[in-house]
Amino acid sequence: MKLRPLVIAACMLAATGAAFAQDIQERVIKFGHLVQPGHPLALGTQKFAEIVAARSGGKLKVREYGASVLGSESQQIGALQGGVQEMFLPATTSAASLVKELSLIDTPFSFGSAAQVDALLQGPFGTAVAQKLPEKGLVSLGYWETGFRNITNSRKPVTEPEDVKGLKIRVMGNPLFLESFSALGTNPVPMAFGELYGALESRALDAQENPYSIVLTSKFYEVQKFMSVTNHVYTANMMLISKKFWDRLSPAEQKILQEAAQEAGAYQRKVSREMAIKDRKELEAKGMKVNDVPSAAIAKMREATTPVAEKFAAAYDPALVQLYRAEMKKIQATVH
């Protein structure tokens, strides 16, 4: 008796599903980040864990370690390279210590909107720069975000470039950040994020710069009175996985993580942008004085930092710089 085609197809599908399931092993994935509970990066991590658990039948377990409990950005990147930690969500600013061309994303005052950011990072440049990571022992599963950064301080509102001069401000230990803020006349201090609240509270520092979400979830409004909306840099985060761990995964496991990363990333960026609007209002409700910096002042700040950006670009891979500039020219002309 011959089997009908539908029966044959059902049997093949069942066999394929069984083989796929056998390719998924019981694994625990340590996933680190720096932020507090409730931050969009934390929410994205939780969404990723849910998707991975569902797609793997519970075999792949993502365990979240937030609030820097696994160490600083440099420590966790090193742990991924060594294969003792599986995943991490660093800012591209920090990952630029390994692939310096990632600093192009941090070019001050370059993006006018989140849509422009998406066009760059989800396009040819975002792909090309991520392809330099495997040789450093890391694999990128895509871009998430912390968002546009703004300046807070304990002295006065920033309404013109002169208002930032002399401020002792914490910045990430990225050379482009350090020199850009020096060009603005501030006194930039690189410092691990975990030490920042205490330095602001003791007035060892006057200022810091971060997106609304970080200021709110880290309670910087308790130790900083003024926030000035400069949107000077957009901070992207890379969803990184240890190459040593990645290479041990089956194609089925890699597919689950890649698809979950893309799905959770889209969710994370959407949540981040929705929360930014709410976070500003909440910071104001908590007593912060928030002001928008005039466009003329922003233009002067951009002019002051442009020579720094050009200096660093001269030391990068010329092909990536050319690609970045071509993409940005097209994006700025067509995406608003």
| pLDDT of res. 4 | 57
Give every residue of the chain whose pLDDT is below 50, as ranges.
1-3, 8-16, 18-19
The predicted model scores a pTM of 0.87
| pLDDT of res. 192 | 86
| pLDDT of res. 300 | 97
Locate the domains of the chain by residue range.
Answer: 25-334
CA 91 – CA 36 distance, rounded (Å): 15
| pLDDT of res. 5 | 52
Q: What phi and psi, each to the nearest 5 degrees, are found at residue 27?
A: -140, 145
Burial bucket for residue 42 (CB in 10 Å: 0-12, 13-18, 19+): buried
CA 102 – CA 97 distance, rounded (Å): 9
Any idea which architecture 25-334 has in CATH?
3-Layer(aba) Sandwich (3.40)
